[in-house]
Amino acid sequence: MGMTLETPLGSVVQGSLSQGLEVRLHADVSVEDMRVGKFLVVQGVRSRFFCMLTDVSLGTASPRILANPPDPADTFLQEVLAGSGTFGTINLSPMLMINQASDVGLQAAGDHSNLKPQTSNLKPQTPKLASYNAQSSAPIELLPVKTIPSHFSQVYDASEWDFRAVFGWEDDPHRRNFSVGQPIDMDVPICLDLDRFVERSNGVFGKSGTGKSFLTRLLLSGIIRKQAAVNLIFDMHSEYGWEATREGKQFSTVKGLRQLFPGQVQIYTLDSDSTKRRGVRDAQELYISFDQIDVEDLMLVRGELNLSEASLENAIILRNEFGKSWISRLLTMNNEEIQEFCETKMGSKSSIMALQRKLNRLAELKYIRNSCPHNYVGQILESLEAGKHVVVEFGSQSNLLSYMLATNVIARRIHQAYVRKAEQFLQTKKVSDRPRQLVITIEEAHRFLDPATVGQTIFGTIAREMRKYFVTLLVVDQRPSGIDNEVMSQIGTRITALLNDEKDIEAIFTGVAGAQSLKSILAKLDSKQQALILGHAVPMPVVIKTRPYDETFYAEVGDPAWEEMPDSIVFKAAEAARADLGI
């Protein structure tokens, strides 16, 4: 666990509330042990300051030493100078003040094996985020930093007790805490408060190849395990449902959510042939009919279909005339019928013919039908209402046109149903009428939420509504700078792997105080298995080494019945679940 609080690392020599603290390391502390993103505590007179290390530098007492440095072989002189003539300095950014009774402070470095939650009648919105015991009944409060410690306050490694006091622990009976990883240099869990996580829209960001899908699968597993919400996942590359490929030189796969939680996750597919080829036996087929596609959906994919403003205006004229069946009707019209329509309804023949030609591309999508006798979206809604988590797989239909169209059409109808249910609940106030909290996961999120189209997509609406209708988003994206600023400011918790682009890094810190020091940390993350978490679900920004998604994780988080179930039993259980839903 590293050093205890009894071994000071250095002394505070100067600093300010806005710029952070400068700490001079003691002579026996190696500057090479100090890594950006590490957590340290500064023991003040009244408070303990929980800090993040943001910079490391070397200092000298006299410029003469630099003008005439000791010979590399003269280790004796180097040791004489160390600590007095030459020294290491670190910069700390105070994140929280831990206020405590004196008896707790004295025992902070002791044995913390009996650390337990004391009370849980504290609301999440209050500044007192937690109350804990450390061999004492005195409460601990976590407060925002409003001051700084005095000169020569001693700096220590953060202990396990500090981390538990700040981030809680997974088996807290009063909170849905879920461990997403651990600090870079310690073996202690960093937990998200899932109730706070699902009540706002959230984002998983990182450049290609940094493990965004693994991070997302980790979060979704936690939401399912802790029953914090019900999930609707639009799975563009078929990575979340049954299994996914692990990156690396050797080909291997990891379990998807359906394998981890066989009784709780249902897969719907827009390409049943592809799904069957990958060995998923009990996925539900899903089709969309032309009469479910609205002009707003076409506005979202206008770039992919190369639709002009005039074509969209004529689409509105057609919809006003023919109602929901306008696309089917347009695709069967001949030149004479188009000419006649334009003469009577003031349409533009060239624009309508161009629209007809371009909408023929939709007919090529595998999941599009002229009409659907079965209400597939209603079926998804029934699954969600029954507490089942739904993964919508795209298979070979994962191009952007196909993904954006289906995702928008389905999500818009689900959202309409949720708005009705939420309004009914607000009217009756009955607990039985309260909709289940729904989290919708979308990939390539900047395509739906960019400033030009955010007004036409249902996702822009959901992000701006916050949690009014019990629906929030989990957006997965490698280009956060492409997301509208207003939407970005509504994203409650941001989990960010490595990003290189300056604009993307700027976007992550939209509306975040003290972002400058965090930017340097984000730029220095490893390209794999490291992430910066900041926002609503954690009491302070934190860099984590993400929890491995492996056999140990399956055993700890997955449904324990899965390993013992023979294939035939799994198949029968799935058949029974489908029968329950009347499918």
Q: State residue 168's pLDDT score.
A: 84
β-bridge pairing 530-535 and 493-496: antiparallel
For the residues 555-567, what does the mean pLDDT come to? 61
Q: State residue 80's pLDDT score.
A: 66
- Please list, in sequence order, all residues whose beta carbon lies within 8 angstroms of the beta carbon of residue 352, skipping any fewer than 6 positions away: 311, 314, 318, 330, 338, 341, 342
Lowest mean pLDDT among 138-147, 300-309, 374-383, 447-456: 138-147
Q: What is the average pLDDT score of the chain?
A: 80
- Please list, in sequence order, all residues whose beta carbon lies within 8 angstroms of the beta carbon of residue 445, skipping any fewer than 6 positions away: 203, 459, 473, 475, 476, 477, 483
430 vs 12: CA distance, rounded Å: 56
Which residue stretches of 249-308 are H helix? 257-260, 272-277, 295-300, 302-305
- In three-state form (DSSP H/G/I as H, E/B as E, the rest C), the secondary structure along 547-562 is CCCCHHHHHHHCCCCC
289 vs 309: CA distance, rounded Å: 24
459 vs 412: CA distance, rounded Å: 8
pLDDT class for 78, splitting at 50, 70, 90? low
The one-character DSSP state at 31 is: G
195 vs 543: CA distance, rounded Å: 21
pLDDT class for 202, splitting at 50, 70, 90? very high
- Give per-residue pLDDT as tens, 488-525: 888 889 999 888 888 888 888 877 766 777 777 787 77
Q: Which of 547, 548, 506, 546 lies closest to 523 in space, CA to CA?
A: 506
**pLDDT exceeds 60 at position 123:** no
Q: State residue 577's pLDDT score.
A: 42
SS3 content of the chain, % helix, strand, coil (to 5): 40, 20, 40
249 vs 571: CA distance, rounded Å: 33
Q: In 300-351, which ranges are E strands?
A: none
- State the Cα angle at 451 between 450 and 452, rounded to 5°: 95
Q: State residue 30's pLDDT score.
A: 83
- Give per-residue pLDDT as tens, 34-54: 888 788 999 988 888 999 888
Q: Token pair for residue 356?
A: 């007809």
Q: How many residues does the chain have?
A: 583
276 vs 388: CA distance, rounded Å: 21
- Give per-residue pLDDT as tens, 333-383: 888 888 888 888 787 888 888 888 888 888 888 888 888 888 888 899 999
Lowest mean pLDDT among 121-130, 167-176, 205-214: 121-130
